[in-house]
Amino acid sequence: MDETWIHHYTPDSKQQSKQWTEAGCSAPKKTRSVPSAEKVMALVFWDAEGIFFSDYLEKGKTITGEYYSNLLTRLDEKIREKRPSLQKKKIIFHQDNAPAHNSVLAMGKLRDLHYELLEHPPYSPDLAPSDFCLFPKLKLFPAGQRFSSNQEAIAAVEGYFADLTKNHYRDKIMALEDCWNKCISLKGDYVGK
């Protein structure tokens, strides 16, 4: 589980906006643009088979312990619906150390659901698979597009996730095991690529 902001407008990256020019000619001047202030937060739950639950939080709203606890209840319903084979297996759950995730309500809910929490060492972005495999390309995907509403942005994100192959998700989850082993062997030090 992880979350990220989706802006209604994201400018092209430097890589995307590169242009060929003739020898001796200077590149055309470009105005600097920034992401729009209008945005929606995507909260994404996924496993080796793909995205099975996502929720969207509007700008100005916050993820509280109560909100997150209720989200975990909805997550459990989605798991029963979309992954019925997991009902009889131990679910290992991974999340970062955000305050709402570590709240008494959220930890109690994880315990009630009988999810085993995979510890996430502080300051370990290399152990957050969403940050190194799911969100970077998602951030490039809407570049240059303008969404007129949260619903439009959400539909685009859902379409993006639907187009990713199952192999993409499985390979990234398998890479997490390797990163964890490196982290353990380095006694918690940062693991680069």
Find the CATH number of the domain harbouring 164.
3.30.420.10
Q: What is the C-alpha to C-alpha distance for residues 15 and 24, in angstroms, rounded to an integer?
A: 21
Q: What is the mean pLDDT of the chain?
A: 81
Asked, for residue 32, whether it belongs to a domain, the answer is no
Asked, for residue 41, whether it belongs to a domain, the answer is yes
Asked, for residue 20, whether it belongs to a domain, the answer is no
Contacts of 189 (CB under 8 A, 6+ apart): 183
Asked, for residue 21, whether it belongs to a domain, the answer is no
pLDDT reported for residue 97: 83
Q: What is the C-alpha to C-alpha distance for residues 61 and 96, in angstroms, rounded to an integer?
A: 19
Q: Determine the residue type at 99.
A: P
DSSP-derived letter for residue 141 is T
β partners of residue 3 = 43
Q: What is the pLDDT of residues 33-87, one digit of tens each?
A: 555 678 899 999 988 888 989 999 977 889 999 999 999 999 999 999 998 888 7
Q: What is the pLDDT of residues 102-123, one digit of tens each?
A: 999 999 999 999 999 987 766 6
CA angle at 127 for the pair 121 and 132, rounded to the nearest 5°: 145
Number of domains in the chain: 1
User: Which range marks the domain in which residue 115 is found?
Assistant: 2-11+37-185
| Cβ atoms of 52 and 78 closer than 8 Å | yes
Residue 44 has which token pair?
């994404």
pLDDT reported for residue 172: 81
Asked, for residue 24, whether it belongs to a domain, the answer is no
H-type helices in the chain, by residue range?
A: 65-82, 104-112, 129, 135-140, 150-163, 166-185
Asked, for residue 31, whether it belongs to a domain, the answer is no
Q: What is the C-alpha to C-alpha distance for residues 156 and 41, in angstroms, rounded to an integer?
A: 13
Name the residue with higher pLDDT: 89 or 37. Answer: 89
Asked, for residue 193, whether it belongs to a domain, the answer is no
pLDDT reported for residue 188: 63
| Cβ atoms of 42 and 153 closer than 8 Å | no
Asked, for residue 28, whether it belongs to a domain, the answer is no
